Amino acid sequence: MLLISFSLFGQLQIFQSTSYAYKFRTTKGWGEWSEKIPTKANIHIDRNKDEIRIDSAKPQRYSLVSFLDSGYNKDNNKYVRWQAMDQDRKLCTVMLISPTNKEHSTQIYFIYNEFKMYYNFFENANYFDDK
């Protein structure tokens, strides 16, 4: 079983996102991040199914294929990365970042070769634990 998070309890966690942003790869490298776009999409992290679902305008589903690594980034925030497959059978990297400073939001990134996006959410905000 893949370890999904750092402080999450239970088998299914549902968080409400506060915003998302995205960017595209250009011929010169990664472009700039878009402005943060407000959203209230639910993020489902299902440890039993090794799956992440986003209830957005276009629902998204990611099956976690394999654990890649975990550790601390240059800002000393804890992260976990997996290889995943989306509902269109495209491979991507999913990265969950838990901030050291709890005033900052947790972020979940979906990284493809030409596109990446992230959702912000607070671990203690709009938290539901379905057991």
What digits encode the pLDDT tens for the residues 92-117? Answer: 999 999 887 777 788 999 999 999 99
Three-state DSSP string of the chain: CCCCCCCCCCCEEEEECCEEEEEEEECCEECCCCCCEECCCEEEEECCCCEEEEECCCCEEEEEEEEEEEEECCCCCEEEEEEEEECCCCEEEEEEEECCCCCCCEEEEEECCCEEEEEEECCCCCCEEEC
pLDDT tens digit sequence for 19-42: 999 999 999 999 999 999 999 999
